[in-house]
Amino acid sequence: MAARKTRVRRPLATALALFAVVAPLASSVAASPAASAAEAAGTVDPTRAGAQWIDENTVAWDLPDAAGTRHALVYAADGRLTVRDGELAGEGRRIRLTPAEGGLTGAQREKYPHLKGYAAFTVDPRDRGQARRALTGQVVAVREDTGGKLLDATGVQTQGVLDDLYSAAATEAKLGPRFRHGRTSLAVWAPTAQSVALELGGRTVPMRRDDAGGVWSVSGPRAWEGKPYRYVVKVWAPSVQKIVTNKVTDPYSTALTADSARSLAVDLDDPALAPAGWDRLRKPRATPLRDAQIQELHIRDFSVEDRTSRHPGEYRAFTDKASDGMKHLRKLAQAGTSYVHLLPASDFGIVPERRDDQAKPDCDLTAPAPDSEEQQACVAEAAVKDGYNWGYDPVHYTVPEGSYASDPDGTRRTVEFRQMVQGLNGSGLRTVMDVVYNHTVASGQADESVLDKIVPGYYHRLLADGTVANSTCCANTATENAMMGKLVVDSVVTWAKEYKVDGFRFDLMGHHPKANIVAVRKALDALTPKKDGVDGKKVVLYGEGWNFGEVADDARFVQATQKNMAGTGVATFSDRSRDAVRGGSPFDEDPGVQGFASGLYTDPNASKANGTKAEQKARLLHYQDLLKVGLTGNLASYTFTDSAGRRVKGSQVDYNGSPAGYAAAPGDALSYADAHDNESLYDALAFKLPAGTSPADRARMQVLAMATATLAQGPSLSQAGSDLLRSKSLDRNSFDSGDWFNAIHWSCRDGNGFGRGLPVAADNKAKWSYAKPLLASTALNPGCREIDGASAAYRDLVKLRASEPAFSLDTAAEVQSRLSFPLSGTDAETPGVVTMRVGDLVVVFNATPDAQEQRVPGPKDAAYRLHPVQAKGADATVKASSYERKTGTFTVPARTVAVFERR
């Protein structure tokens, strides 16, 4: 993930307790001296929401034995239920509750597993039918003794009952702006609102509520099209404990004014928003997910320092065919790269969208020394208001970000995003969008909050006390709730249809239910060229299937995690090979922990964190087993002999206590050696390779590390610029580190970004003592020979992978029968070398600083030669690889991956 890291009385008298359900709760009832201060500070707190109304007739509440006490929901349209001296005060109405024998039903526990230990209460039959009215105001759950003394009071979470009452109709509703028969219609889901109006063109127009779905709508003339608008929503807001009137933009916005101030009533089918040729756009041939070779790219990084680009930092930079960046992308496409994955490009907060409002570092960043603190201090000072952020701070999910447009105030962002897609498609590349539906930049009544101002307490995942979970860094959304799940599906379909996006990468997908991602897949599969202008079955999906936070281990639902998504056609990032290649983990205190491609055991550095020689060897051999599993596509069922000589399945190889193999078929797991998160691959190797390693050898290890992903079964991803040895000057989390540390340098004459000063202190200061001597060393600055050579060698590998069917096996059974590791677990297995046979190919990954011989058993008449792509390719060193037929020996130079084909 790429994360932003800047960034609740009086007792009810006996007579009152026996009132009819519509009787008011009098605020003048005398106070009971029995109410203790401890109770007031503990369980009597309606500002918290410890009870959960899960369906129309059931409340779940984490209470002790309910015997001898009475329970109710008290609701007030004016939102003035409060606590005074531990007692409830205010005018309210009651819904009586009866303890349910046996607690929650089996079906309820299955739907809400995190509530399985809660007591269950059933709404009294006499009081049923009040839910819709109660939900438009404040709701408090109370527990009293038989004499009416208040024992507990808490606010109530209402997501479950809202879904129970409204979702059947609401999920079928068309929300946002619509244009038909010369009329403009707007609709918003706001079932708890007391009123909703449309603010447009200097007028406030009342909206009509549909009681079945809780949707408010209004229709007006076509003249409304293009006009700024907001909704005026009067609603109970738990975050501030009062009724508020919010003026808020549309969650289903299709266009915005600058800085998301207003929604625009825009018809995306308007021909004026289509760039020339949009309706005739010819896409490159669709590549199946299992064969996808992906370049991960930040829109601003791509061109902001490219002197040959006419539109630096903009969507339109991808239309600059003669720029160095576009030339490079075309070379990658010609080699076999199939997709460009764009970091988030939907509307996000943090960055001022107008260029005149964006700050710039007020210093000469080129003057200080390469290991100075000055650059990062200057960048950090401007970061709050500069034009840079990764974009993982979503505000509106279905509108292009304005800061990448030539004019953020209107529809240029729509036109120019489409031009970007055209430019990439015209260069032979399909487009993937990084989407961030797992959180929003803000919640509650904050300025950039949208969803929570319309249906407070619904769209975000709440913890047991009613506070918003933020395990993803910001306000977690509750994609398990029907209307948040619908928003995800509707948004993805809009991007696919209206912007012709070819794939989606889900940020922190493990925080989504599996069912939600499967629903996205189903909705896309239903799109057809004839009906929708796009073949949805060819749209690829993948995401981060990490398992953590309040949803971990399927605590609330079956998550879209690595193990759960196997077999769905949606891939997940595999961290197994990444960590084996680099060494350690991205969070090691000492960044010098080595791995397969960074010299562990075979070329040790000075770090004591690597352990003894024997420990290094054992860990390296285990890393090699992780790599073998990764090369199969992380298949759970794949059986092989591990480095200890045991016959194991991929699922039996340990990865930090979890199975290394989790995939059901090639394409379930996505391989990578680096991405935008954590240090770039070059920077990780800078920390890990011995300090004296030459730039030439560093470049070779970079290519070898990337090869472990490129030549694996299934899709692979590389951070854009990694083939050019891209560095961020050792920054491990450059989400807000500005152009200085993040920009890609397409020309080798501009270097690779290394030595631009110490990385930003906020996320890197703890590593400065390791970073400073590296940045000061000129030995780590590669020249054109290393940069261009690494890039050309990488393109050869991509071309080789794309041209050989052996790297594109369809099923786990094919992988099992055609792919093997002939030296694994034998005396001939060499630490630092992995040898793989796949079809008629033999691949040798030699990560050691010495040439290696690999004697592979096989038919006596077998004859191999270096694959023609490498034999005629750019890497002179690999051409020294050889095969000796008489002994079946492959010889491969140091720090080289060589692919041999059978003649």
- So what's the pLDDT on residue 86? 80
Beta bridge partners of 141: 73, 154
Q: In whole angstroms, give the CA distance from residue 886 to residue 900.
A: 16
Name beta bridge partners: 122: 58, 98
Distance CA 736, CA 733 (A): 8
CB atoms within 10 A of CB 484: 23
- Structural tokens at position 278: 């949009």
The model's pLDDT over 438-476, given as tens digits with 9 standing for 90+, comes to 999 999 999 999 999 999 999 999 999 999 999 999 999
Distances (CA, A) of 414 to 269, 270, 308, 834: 11, 11, 24, 48
At 13-41, the pLDDT tens digits run: 322 232 222 333 333 223 333 333 333 33
Q: Which of 163, 452, 507, 679 is catalytic?
A: 507
Per-residue model confidence (pLDDT) at position 35: 34
Q: Cβ distance 642 to 824 under 8 Å?
A: yes
Q: Beta strands of 42-130 (E only): which ranges?
A: 44-45, 51-55, 58-61, 69-76, 82-84, 87-89, 93-99, 119-123
Residue 833, SS3 per DSSP: strand
User: If you count them, how many residues does the chain have?
Assistant: 903
- What pLDDT is attached to residue 1? 52
3-state secondary structure of 41: helix
Main-chain phi, psi angles of 291, to 5 degrees: -110, 5
pLDDT at 42: 39
- Non-local (6+) Cβ contacts of 522 within 8 A are none
Residue 559 has pLDDT above 60, yes or no: yes
DSSP H or E stretch at residue 503: strand 503-506
CA 852-855-858 angle, to 5 degrees, is 150
Three-state DSSP class for residue 728: coil
CB of 193 closer than 8 Å to CB of 135:
no
Contact (CB, 8 A) for 137 and 157: no
Q: pLDDT tens digits for 474-514?
A: 999 999 999 999 999 999 999 999 999 999 999 999 999 99
Check: CB of residue 886 under 8 Å from CB of residue 892. no
Q: How far apart are CA 826 and CA 645, in angstroms?
A: 7
Which residues 6+ apart lie within 8 Å of 58 measured at CB? 100, 104, 108, 120, 121, 122, 123
Provide the strand spans (E) within 223-373.
Answer: 228-237, 242-248, 263-264, 293-297, 339-342
Question: Which helix (H) or strand (E) element contains residue 619?
Answer: helix 613-631
pLDDT digit string, tens, across residues 645-674: 999 999 999 999 999 999 999 999 999 999
CB of 731 closer than 8 Å to CB of 737: yes
Q: Per DSSP, which regions of 190-258 are E strands? A: 195-200, 203-206, 208-210, 215-221, 228-237, 242-248
Cβ atoms < 10 Å from Cβ of 32: 18
User: Does residue 677 surpass a pLDDT of 80?
Assistant: yes
Yes or no: say if 152 and 119 are a contact pair by the CB < 8 Å rule. no
CA distances 304 to 164, 328, 658, 683, 831, Å, are: 49, 15, 41, 21, 43
Residue 714: which of 555, 545, 540 has the closest Cα? 540
pLDDT digits (tens, 9 = 90+) for 296-340: 999 999 999 999 999 999 999 999 999 999 999 999 999 999 999
* Inter-axis angle of helices 784-803 and 695-710, nearest 10: 20
Is 507 marked active-site? yes
- Token pair of 373, please? 């603190």
CB 73 within 8 A of CB 134: yes
pLDDT tens for each residue of 849-865: 999 999 998 877 789 99
Q: How many Å is the Cα radius of gyration of the chain?
A: 30
pLDDT value at position 39? 36
Which of the following is catalytic: 544, 642, 804, 875? Answer: 544
Give the amino acid at 489: V
User: Rounded CA gap, 350 and 497, in Å?
Assistant: 28
Q: Which amino acid type is present at position 613?
A: K
Average pLDDT, the chain: 94
* Dihedral class, residue 825 (left if φ above 0, else alpha if ψ from -120 to 50, else beta): left
Tokens 């993982």 label which residue?
392
Count the neighbouring beta carbons within 10 Å of the beta carbon of residue 546: 19
CA 18 to chain centroid = 52
CB-CB neighbours of 102 under 10 Å: 8
Q: pTM of the predicted model, to two decimals?
A: 0.94
Burial zone of 608 (CB within 10 Å; 0-12 exposed, 13-18 middle, 19+ buried): exposed
Q: Give the pair of three-digit tokens for residue 333.
A: 């496409």
The reported pLDDT for the residue numbered 16 is 26
**Structure token pair of residue 121:** 């209460």
Residue pointed to by tokens 């059974």: 813
Give the integer Cα–Cα distance in Å for 170 and 188. 10
Cα 507 to Cα 472: distance, rounded to the nearest angstrom: 10
If one compares 35 and 171, the residue with the highest pLDDT of the two is 171
Partners of 53 in beta bridges: 59
Helical ranges in 84-201 per DSSP H: 106-111, 131-134, 159-170
For residues 553 and 84, which has the higher predicted lDDT (pLDDT)? 553
CA distance 707 to 31: 75
Distance from C-alpha of 423 to C-alpha of 426, rounded to nearest angstrom: 5
Q: Do 803 and 869 contact (CB within 8 A), yes or no?
A: yes
Q: For strand 571-573 and strand 669-672, is the pairing parallel, antiparallel, or unpaired?
A: parallel
Q: What is the rounded end-to-end Cα distance, in angstroms, of the chain?
A: 44
pLDDT for 65: 75
* Rounded-to-integer distance, Cα 881 and Cα 892, Å: 5
Q: Which two tokens stand for residue 318?
A: 């991808």
What span, in angstroms and rounded, lies between the C-alpha atoms of 573 and 348?
24
Residues 6+ apart with CB under 8 A from 534: 496, 497, 500, 527, 528
Encoded tokens for 215: 């949707």
The dihedral over CA atoms of 814, 503, 340, 494, expressed in degrees to the nearest 10, equals: 170
502 contacts: CB under 8 Å, gap ≥ 6: 283, 286, 339, 430, 431, 432, 538, 539, 540
Spatial contact of 429 and 222, defined as CB atoms under 8 Å apart:
no
Q: Write down the pLDDT at residue 859.
A: 77
Q: Which helix (H) or strand (E) holds 751?
A: none
Whether residue 12 is predicted with pLDDT greater than 80 in this model: the reply is no
Place of tokens 């922990």: 593
What count of other Cβ atoms lies within 10 Å of the Cβ of residue 449?
Answer: 23
